[in-house]
Amino acid sequence: MTDEWVITSVDEVTVGWLTAVLTQSNALTHGDVTAVTVETGGGNWSANASLTLTYSDDAQGQRPKRLFLKLVNTALDDDESFDDSEVTYYTRDYVDVADAPLVPCYHAAYSATVQRYHLLLEDVSETHVLALEKAPTLAYGLALAEGLAAMHARWWGAKGLAEAGAAMHSAAHIQRFIDIAAPGVDHIIAHVSADLKPGWPALMRDLFANLPAALIKRTQDANGFTLIHGDNNETNILVPREGTRPIYLIDRQPFNWSLTTWLGVYDLAYAIVRDWPIEIRRQWELPILHHYHQHLMQHGIASYSWNQLLDDYKLCVPICVAIATEFCRGGLNQRWQHIWLPQLQRSLTACDDLECRSLW
């Protein structure tokens, strides 16, 4: 649910508020929250807290013992901002998708007036860790493909996007998305060319010059487009400590220049091209894509061919180069070089492997 009153500080969390929202979500059917202990933390774009709850003796219902509270200021510097995307992610977009890979949400609110929102989620830290903390496996890749297919099928194509009230991105939006990252090309080539293969500087320049037109052309046919997560990197995917299911995709928090209505298979490319070791990606890429295609069909997407999916995947791989390059749009980003440089190398390798340059 979305309303106008937003938690802006952990100090505002009371047992009365927790009782009210858990009752409203049917997680508490009788009784009260009588005490809460708070452990605060923070992310790149948010403040958060882990809440441990105590209930009255007569309490009934699910009665979650641990909750995760996320607090976000949506107004950023340099004309960048967030909107209510993460709130609708939990409260509207997939509430009718039984197998959507989302952490249970007990309350969410967004206010355009104060430019903030909050989320109250189940704390799954006892059972799950970041995907970053476990080596990728084929089983994990298949689970990711299943979860994304379930989400993507919900708002698929022109009909689904119209139902969601989500427009296709304009040519100007797509061009801006690439242009924001473009200054990073010169910074990277000037400072870390020794870490690039001989043909990669030319490939990067060619990509930034020609990819936008190819992306814009693809938007002429809405088949394959849907609401995407857009940032399902290995720190935004929770995987079980034991086993491979369920997985959870967290932090759908797009900037106002991000791709949000896009080719669904981009979410797979984003995850496995940027973050997975090259040989593992090469070995399991096609089985994972086939699994994704099969599960799209199981969710009723019958008009999207395997050949089209593969072409769309190849078109999305170069976008991963832009994502890595964006780290350096303001100069060589040495602080995060251990993150963006391997991602860039893996993405450029995938462009070579899949002959992506032939697409423009």
pLDDT tens digit sequence for 247-274: 999 999 999 999 999 999 999 999 999 9
* 3-class secondary-structure state, position 35: strand
Three-state DSSP string of 225-264: EEECCCCCCCCCEEEECCCCCCCEECCCCCCCCCCCEEEC
Q: Is residue 5 part of a domain?
A: no
Give rounded-to-5 percent helix, strand, coil for the chain.
Answer: 45, 15, 40
Please compute the mean of the pLDDT values over residues 187-205 and round it to a whole number: 98
- Looking at 95, 122, 149, which one is the last position of a domain? 122
In a domain, 187, yes or no: yes
Judgement on whether residues 58 and 134 belong to the same structural domain of the protein? no
Residue 69's CATH number:
3.30.200
Model confidence, pTM: 0.95
Do 15 and 82 fall within a single domain? yes
202 within domain boundaries: yes
Residues 154, 40, single domain; the answer is no
Q: What is the CATH number of the domain that holds 229?
A: 3.90.1200
| Element containing residue 170 per DSSP (H, E) | none
Structure confidence at residue 1 as a pLDDT band (50, 70, 90)? very low
Based on the domain organization, do 335 and 254 belong to the same domain? yes
Both 72 and 143 in one domain: the answer is no
Domain that holds residue 150: 130-359
Same domain (yes/no): 134, 118: no
Asked whether 303 and 286 are in contact (CB, 8 A), the reply is no
Last residue of a domain, one of 105, 122, 139: 122
Is the pLDDT at 2 greater than 60? The verdict is: no
> What sections of 89-198 are H helices per DSSP?
138-154, 157-164, 171-181, 184-192
Residue 251 has phi, psi (to 5 degrees) of: 60, 50
Do 109 and 168 share a domain, yes or no?
Answer: no
Same domain, 198 and 312: yes
Chain segment 288-331, per-residue pLDDT in tens: 999 999 999 999 999 999 999 999 999 999 999 999 999 999 99
What does the buried/exposed string (b/e) look like for 190-206 if buried means 16 or more CB atoms within 10 Å of the residue's CB? eebeeebeeebbebbee
Each residue of 10-22: pLDDT tens digit? 999 999 999 999 9
- For residue 144, being part of any structural domain is answered with yes
- Domain final residue pick, 122, 143, 163: 122
CA 144 to mean position of chain CA atoms = 12
- Is 236 a residue whose pLDDT tops 50? yes
Q: Is residue 281 part of a domain?
A: yes
**Do 143 and 55 reside in the same domain of the chain?**
no
Residues contacting residue 58 through CB under 8 Å, at least 6 positions apart: 30, 31
299 and 162 both lie in a single domain: yes
Total domain count for the chain?
2
